[in-house]
Amino acid sequence: MLSFFLITAFLAGAFLALLVSLALSLSRARIELPRSNPKSLLEKRRKTDGGRKPLAVCAGDSITHGVVSANYVDILSTRHPDWDFCNAGVNSELAFNLAVRLDEIVALDPDAVTILIGTNDVNATFGFRKALGYYALYRLPERPSMLFYQENLTLIVRRLKRETRARIALLSIPPIGEDPRHYAWLRTEEYAAVIKGVAHREEVEYLPLRERLCAYLEGLPRAEPLPFNRMPQAQTRALRSRLIYGKTFDEISAANGFRLLVDGIHLNTHAAAMAADLVEGFLHAVEQGHK
């Protein structure tokens, strides 16, 4: 009898340790920066004497970071070995947070900067609890709003124009969900209009990612994807499926009933390739301008 209880206790302890290990792995994946993050790339480039490749910085949130989303920066790096790519995406961040950490991007003296930020700014407007969560997490100076987003996006662009020689491009944010009748879809459309307006006023490039994704969806039969209220759980489940069970982003996307999104927010490989296509076209223009 004693041996039975000892074995049971051992197995329960081992199972608990496994759960803790898995939880730590998921948490670590959320906070770890990409390998080519600004700090590591700056150190690498400082050790390189001459012969540097042109540098493109892709700045943004988790959609750029590429742990819970297909990584369009890695796609670009594979397509263009003649460029260095810096992945300046940080999970969960708002435009305010990107504005705060611009020093490290400016220090790189990039040739091109692309910015894909705003999904979390939109997400933070979906109710008081959401806003309070972001407010507390990042100690924001004010409650997230469309005006707050526009101000920070403008500050980002103006500082990059003032303190770097980089060509700058703003990508419109993807829709949240794939239901064009839902308010989350419509809210991202409003924020995309803000991005386009900032690009126009500041005379930088505008890359219509949202428009390209929406046009693709319009050409497909209407589907029944995961509903909006189940997306937060789907995001955690997607990360677990990816890191623990080895599922591909496209498999997770299909299981959730999406065509372009993994969990209602992040990109599958097809959508990430569309983002890479737009940035690739922008980089070709940068190269032509340098000739």
193-199, long-range: CB within 8 Å, 24+ apart, which pairs? 194/118, 194/146, 194/149, 194/150, 194/153, 195/118, 195/153, 195/170, 195/171, 196/170, 196/172, 197/150, 198/150, 198/153, 198/154, 198/157, 198/170, 199/157, 199/169, 199/170
Confidence at 25, pLDDT banded by 50, 70, 90: very low
CATH 3.40.50.1110 fits 36-290, yes or no: yes
Confidence at 195, pLDDT banded by 50, 70, 90: very high
Tell me which amino acid residue 126 is. Answer: F
Sole residue written with tokens 């526009």 = 150
Average pLDDT over residues 270-291: 92
* Distance in angstroms (rounded) separating the CA atoms of residues 291 and 289: 6
Per-residue pLDDT at 84:
95
**Does position 230 have pLDDT exceeding 60, yes or no?**
yes
pLDDT digits (tens, 9 = 90+) for 139-174: 899 999 999 999 999 999 999 999 999 999 999 999
Return mean pLDDT, the chain: 88
Tell me the percentage of the chain whose pLDDT exceeds 70: 88
- Going from the C-alpha of 249 to that of each of 35, 98, 228, 268, the distances in angstroms are 20, 26, 19, 5
